[in-house]
Amino acid sequence: MKIADLKLTTFRYRSRTVRDYEGHPHPGAEHWAANRLLTVVTDEGAEGYFVSGGCTPELVDGLLKPALVGEDPFFREMLHQRMQRIAKLTNLGEMAIGQVDNALWDLAGRTLNIPVYKMLGAARTKVLAYASTMPGDDMPGGLSTIEEYAAFAEQLVAQGYRAIKLHTWMPPIVPEPDVKREAALCAAVREAVGPDVDLMLDAHHHYDRHEALYLARECQRLGYVWIEEPMNESRLASYVWLRSKLDDLAVCGPEHAENGALTRVQWAERGGCDMLRAAAGSGGVTQIMKTIHLAEAYGMRMEVHSGGPDNLHVLCAMGINGKYYERGLVHPMRTFEVPFPWQKTHYDPLDAGGYVRVPERPGLGDDIDFDFIKANEVRSEHEVRS
Ligand code: MG
């Protein structure tokens, strides 16, 4: 079997999520937004799919087709290494590599009629979910006050969640992040849900050492499980320092460092974190599995960043050192309990026990609505809003 073509389909859909100028998502007025379906086409008719914003038409035509067409799609490791080499001297990024790699895994699973988590070596069929909140906002009835966060946390527990991660207020929603207000919010949520719900904090990412330590000590006092990215993750030395001051609060990271295991091994070696973190969307399933095995070798937990079918499959192929599936981002004014417009069914419904089950369909099991995508295909970004 050979790769015959890579097809990138840009399509539009109605969205109620808007981003502020620092990139944080919030609920907003309904509008047109765009997403992209990558299809790996083979000479034997088999296809693999992955929906994400990773690839652009320029990357597919200029770099990826020349590198992949004519190759055996089952040679994922070879193709991944080739894409990493291409990335060194071009603008091919990890999100694009991840979209291609995940589509190759999907293709292999569909061809062999087996879900990806079983191809990887299955360890379980469901993972405990945590509700990951949207960042704070200034909308009454949303996440604009400490009281609203606390009330929402109670709702999430009533819905079945046994763990919640808070994203709090960050610029430009607030002029300056306020470490004392964040700590008060963490305390109010603990008070609202009681001692038995696992809580985590993903703080504003640009505190200095002493602000980060203040917040981490408050989280430690409140029995939080981990603190995530309270400082710029380029400062590994600051994370080593922070971790040396804490007892039983875990530091989770680095979320955004590139090159998967190659950079995370330095965090593990130098003690910058207690739990490693990476997403299958960056670099693909091939890349994240190496980080998962790195964490295992260091006896560390590896908390997978973000939801999605790719992350759910890798979680079900790893042992219990990946305890949670990140479900969200949730918000009082936005339901998360319906599929995206390009999906026929929801891939990660929450069960009554707070777990999410991995799809058993072949490949990644994303129930893509190809008719919707075809009917909403656009040829340019301009067409998205016209
Ligand atoms: Mg994070």
Domains of the chain, by residue range, sit at 3-114+365-385, 118-357
CA 202–ligand 1 middle distance (angstroms): 6
CA 305–ligand 1 middle distance (angstroms): 7
Reported confidence tier of residue 351, pLDDT bands at 50, 70, 90: very high
Helix crossing, 284-297 with 94-112: angle to 10°?
100
CA 91–ligand 1 middle distance (angstroms): 24
CA 228–ligand 1 middle distance (angstroms): 6
CA 229–ligand 1 middle distance (angstroms): 6
Reported confidence tier of residue 22, pLDDT bands at 50, 70, 90: very high
Residue 183: both structure tokens together: 């700590």
Q: What's the confidence (pLDDT) of residue 71?
A: 99
Q: CATH classification of 118-357, choosing from 3.40.109.10, 3.20.20.120, 3.40.50.460, 1.10.1060.10? A: 3.20.20.120
Q: Counting Cβ atoms within 10 Å, is residue 94 exposed (0-12), middle (13-18) or buried (19+)? A: buried
CA 201–ligand 1 middle distance (angstroms): 9
CA 277–ligand 1 middle distance (angstroms): 9
For residue 386, pLDDT over 80 is answered with no
What pLDDT digit, counting tens, does each position of 87-104 carry?
999 999 999 999 999 999
Q: CA 111 to CA 76: how far, in whole Å? A: 14
CA 61–ligand 1 middle distance (angstroms): 32
Q: What's the confidence (pLDDT) of residue 204?
A: 87
Q: What's the confidence (pLDDT) of residue 383?
A: 83
CATH superfamily of 3-114+365-385: Enolase-like, N-terminal domain (3.30.390.10)
DSSP 279: -
What value does the mean pLDDT take over residues 129-147?
97
CA 122–ligand 1 middle distance (angstroms): 26
Q: What's the confidence (pLDDT) of residue 231?
A: 97
For residue 41, pLDDT over 80 is answered with yes
Q: CA 363 to CA 172: how far, in whole Å? A: 40
Reported confidence tier of residue 33, pLDDT bands at 50, 70, 90: very high
CA 378–ligand 1 middle distance (angstroms): 32
What value does the mean pLDDT take over residues 228-245?
97
CA 129–ligand 1 middle distance (angstroms): 15
For residue 230, pLDDT over 90 is answered with yes
For residue 247, pLDDT over 90 is answered with yes
